[in-house]
Amino acid sequence: MSLSLADIQQEYDVLSEQMSDPQIFAHPDFIHISKRHTELASHIELLQTIEHLKSQIQEATALLDDPEMKEIAAEELSSLQARLDIAESAWNEILSPKEHFANEIIVEIRAGAGGDEAGLFALELFKAYVTFLQKNGAKTEILSLSENPVGGIKEVILEARGHEIYQYLQYESGVHRVQRVPKTEKAGRVHTSTITVAVLPIAQEVDIDINPNDLKIDVFRSSGPGGQSVNTTDSAVRITHIPTNTVVSCQDEKSQLKNKDKAMKILRTRILDKMKQEQAEKEAAFRKNQIGTGDRSEKIRTYNFPQDRITDHRIKQNFSDIESILLGDFTHILTAFDDYKRNHSEE
């Protein structure tokens, strides 16, 4: 991307003419035009500063040949160059803006193979994510929770809200495998269990348009572990998106309306994610190097308790101290993956 002062000045002059028209306040895009006009003014000021500094540097450089001015010119050059570096760095950030991440995400954790042991590990990993998210300034809320008879989790759907919170857990989606001796195992044999994790940016209504006629909405009574009724009214909601056969149920709230709102939030997010997954699969055919496909069936990490070892299979790297990691202290694992991805990504 390359922008010259002349190009920016030309666009600025056009917008300045529009802004001088009294009718501009009635223009449907007035806010956008005004914001862009102010933005371009700051760009012009920055570029003019850069050009002025370069001119001053040339003048100071010419004085280096003057024995009487050499020392003063050298000192001035140092100051001018430092100011130019700051100004050019600011301009480079404008040309290559920082990537922004979603402020709201949904984290879905489901027990896979391994029966009750999978559910117990799902609970541990869920607590680790909640602790990690809260340490990073996020507010968390359980949207849906289904427990198993031994106190573990069949499925939990968590909402997290925080500044660009998606950047932290965006690559956690996939299969997490645990190898350990269950508390109920008297023979001391190591069992292997799996859980699946999906981390999705929350889809807003403006992101995806869902036709109400494509929805089938059922209401029923909420039930707890083992099937016992926990509500005497039909407050639980099940929504089916017929075209994609996406089904979402929510029963945690006593209000049917609140359960419906939560279910729609999850439904929109899942449908948008499915659309992105389909697009990613098409694009993947054109990539030479991939670090994880994001496929929900992809094994990304193994937690080996007997050897106190966590293996990230995507970067083929091991980490120790599982206990601390399950207390939410796994920033170093995420950093290692980010570093690997950055060093091996396609240009």
| Residue-range definition of the domain harbouring residue 16 | 5-95
Query: How confident is the model at residue 294, as a pLDDT?
Result: 43
Same domain, 11 and 60: yes
Same domain, 131 and 261: yes
* Residue 168, Cβ density class (10 Å: 0-12 exposed, 13-18 middle, ≥19 buried): buried
Same domain, 271 and 131: yes
The answer to whether the beta carbons of residues 245 and 254 sit under 8 Å apart is: no
| Whole-number Cα distances in Å, 194 to 113, 323, 325 | 5, 18, 17
Q: Using CA atoms, how far apart are residues 108 and 153, in angstroms rounded to an integer? A: 11
Tokens, residue 288: 């030479």
Structural domain ending residue among the three candidates 95, 121, 137: 95
Query: How confident is the model at residue 272, as a pLDDT?
Result: 82
Tens digit of pLDDT for each residue in 277-299?
776 666 555 443 434 444 456 78
Q: Using CA atoms, how far apart are residues 159 and 142, in angstroms rounded to an integer? A: 6
Same domain, 264 and 340: yes
Same domain, 73 and 163: no
Same domain, 151 and 277: yes
pTM, whole model, 2 decimals?
0.59
Same domain, 206 and 152: yes
Q: What is the CATH number of the domain that holds 294?
A: 3.30.70.1660
Query: How confident is the model at residue 244, as a pLDDT?
Result: 86
Structural domain ending residue among the three candidates 95, 125, 150: 95
Tens digit of pLDDT for each residue in 259-268?
888 888 888 8
Same domain, 153 and 17: no
Flag residues of the chain having pLDDT under 50: 1, 226-229, 286-295, 346-347
Same domain, 116 and 204: yes
Structural domain ending residue among the three candidates 42, 73, 95: 95
Query: How confident is the model at residue 282, as a pLDDT?
Result: 62
Same domain, 168 and 234: yes
Q: Using CA atoms, how far apart are residues 199 and 19, in angstroms rounded to an integer? A: 44
Query: How confident is the model at residue 55, as a pLDDT?
Result: 92
Same domain, 212 and 323: yes
When divided into structural domains, the chain yields a total of 2
Same domain, 167 and 213: yes
The answer to whether the beta carbons of residues 305 and 178 sit under 8 Å apart is: yes
